[in-house]
Amino acid sequence: MSTTLSDVQDGETPPINLGPSSSRLGEKAIVGWLLLCASLSVLITVGIVAALLGDTIRFFQRVPLSEFFRVGQWAPWQGDFPVFNLVMGTLNITMYALIIAIPGGLGAAIWLSEYASNRTRKIVKPVIEVLEGVPTVAYGLFALLFIAPMLKSVWPTWLPGKLGQEPELQFAGAAALVMGVMLIPTIASISEDAMRAVPSGLRQAAYGLGSTKMQVALKVVVPAALSGIVAAFVLGISRGIGETMLVLMAAGATPNASLWPNDSVLTMTAFIARTAGGDISHGSTEYYTIFAVGSVLFVMTLGMNMIADFFVRRFRETYE
């Protein structure tokens, strides 16, 4: 029964209608949609693990762990399956790419957050973020057709030892240089968002103590946003480890256990792409090798995320 104002006695508080409203229904719909998205992410992850696990087990039923995790020449078509060379090739390119991407991305983030005006930021940041959407095959062509010949023509052959040898047309340094440029927008965008989230009161307090803009940026803003910056670094590392087309086109196909930038290397992702696109019979050991290498790649990425989660929790700053 509905209650009108004429039914309320003097001094009494009219009852509040607690029935469902359109705003509450809309909020419940949004919460349900967010729950669905979170559940879908979990289900996709479980599906990836399930897709890799079965065939990985079949691989290790044929190839012992001691054979797979050892140092040696990678030649699955000859019955040699030591994955160490592929891991080293992946780490080679990722390491040199991060030498470029981390300083470049962090520097761009500091400039956008602390030095650029609002008008300049609104122009520059979208331009930087556009680079994230460039297809990696375009980066691969750029590395293969422009960067690699340029580096090859100016390579300092006067350097002693292995580093002084002229590189081949496809080598780790060319792929790493372009990958470093490719990772800069990712690291810069996420790091800048973390720095912009730092309360302005911290900056004003530092300026009040006589700090310069550089001191505020490096000693106040960066430490305060460290958890977000670490997350940006790890996302960049994970993307570098999982990059396929760029390294497939520009890094070569020789499974060398080398950390020299002028060597041709074969990464885990490039091996998966090459083998999966080749003529291999379903159910053969070479076929199951794809899933074993993919599982190693998955575990490496998972380990990086766990380490990042530890550092994010360790250095997270909370502001009231």
Model confidence pLDDT, tens digit, residues 76-96: 877 788 888 899 999 999 999
**pTM for the full model?**
0.83
Mean pLDDT of the chain, nearest integer: 84
**How many Å apart are CA 222 and CA 214, to the nearest integer?**
11
Cα torsion 212, 213, 219, 220 to 10°: value is 120
- Encoded amino acid at 147, one letter: I
DSSP single-letter state for residue 12: P
DSSP single-letter state for residue 112: I
Residue 276 lies in a domain: no
Cα torsion 273, 276, 279, 280 to 10°: value is 130
Q: Domain count for the chain, please give it.
A: 1
Residue 117 binned pLDDT confidence (cut-offs 50, 70, 90): confident
CATH code for the domain in which residue 231 is found? 1.10.3720.10
Share of the chain above pLDDT 90, in %: 22
Task: Provide the β-strand partners of residue 80.
Answer: 75
Per-residue pLDDT of 3-39, as tens digits, reads 454 554 555 555 555 455 666 888 888 888 999 998 9
Residue 1 binned pLDDT confidence (cut-offs 50, 70, 90): very low
**Long-range contacts: 309-313, Cβ < 8 Å, 24+?**
311/227, 311/230, 312/227, 312/230, 312/231, 313/227
Q: Give the residue numbers spanning the domain of 139.
A: 88-267
Contact 218, 291 (CB under 8 A): no
Residue 181 lies in a domain: yes
Residue 11 lies in a domain: no
**How many Å apart are CA 22 and CA 37, to the nearest integer?**
23
Residue 10: predicted pLDDT: 53
**How many Å apart are CA 196 and CA 116, to the nearest integer?**
12
Residue 219 lies in a domain: yes
Locate all alpha helices (DSSP H) within 18-135, ordered by sequence.
22-62, 65-68, 84-110, 118-130
Q: Which residue has the tokens 């001191």?
A: 215
3-state secondary structure string, 121-178?
A: HHHHHHHHHHHHHCCHHHHHHHHHHHHHHHHHHHCCCCCCHHHHCCCCCCCHHHHHHH
Residue 194 lies in a domain: yes
What average pLDDT does range 290-303 have in this prediction?
A: 89
Residue 109: predicted pLDDT: 92
Cα–Cα distances (Å) from 101 to 116, 122, 149, in that order, read 20, 22, 22
Residue 119 lies in a domain: yes
Residue 36 lies in a domain: no
Residue 167 binned pLDDT confidence (cut-offs 50, 70, 90): confident
Residue 308 lies in a domain: no
**How many Å apart are CA 318 and CA 165, to the nearest integer?**
52
- Encoded amino acid at 3, one letter: T
